[in-house]
Structure 1
Amino acid sequence: MRTAYIDAVLSVAALIPAGHVLSYGDIAVLLESGGPRQVGSVLARYGSDVPWWRVIRAGGLPPQGHDERALAQYLSEGTALRGKTTGEDASWRVDMRTARWNPDDAQLAALDAVREDMARQEAPDVDLSVPRDGLEP
């Protein structure tokens, strides 16, 4: 996987404020690159140093296999939840309508900078000292 894409996904995850979430697909749309599976793969492999619990499945379910750890984070951050969070019949999810992060203008500028940095890193290097048509400058 491209290093620039990995860095961009992790940067977006780090920007999500406490108490808010984005879906894997939301991040792909913000980056204008990849899809939910690619974002999930990055977080599964490299996301331990960012707030991974703030990136969830579109239906409001936490990252697979991390329900208990994620729930503890959601409760401590005041993330809006739906359903019963305790007991044998616990069945909860994040309330996407309430908890989905809606960035303000300054946050959108930070997201734009992440996307632009990714694009810049992925652009091929062009040596301007060598003429493209073989002619001297």
Structure 2
Amino acid sequence: MFKAMLLDRQEDRSTARIAGLEDSQLPDGEVTVRIAFSTLNYKDALAITGKGPVVCKFPMVPGIDFAGTVGTAGYTAMLCVQAIAVHGVKPGGGDVLVTGANGGVGGVATALLAKRGYRVVASTGRMNGAYHDVAS
């Protein structure tokens, strides 16, 4: 169980409360992160107050700005790592190119591959601020 701010819709207004949630309540494909630090940004404030059309589906846990440790990796990223192993690519057998490496799936795939000892070459379409160090 974990605690989270939960937004819900009651009649014509948004409500916010701190709720205890189980992992089983998360949508399929979500990643769990042990949060060390968090903040609410402008869009979160719009969602909480109902002042903007930010929330697509209720209930919703707001907040995307945080620092923490990934507890469970995304299914899609892990499929990529498993496919490499199935095709016989082993650490030390050459570089592995991850495209879209600064996105959600690419970032997790880069971290998973580096952790398993692969030498990762990360590619991104962003011109600035796209460099991250990943320790093996």
TM-score bin (small chain) = under 0.3
Higher relative contact order (CA 8 A, sep 6+): 1
More helix by share: 1
More strand by share: 2
Q: TM-score, normalised by structure 1?
A: 0.27
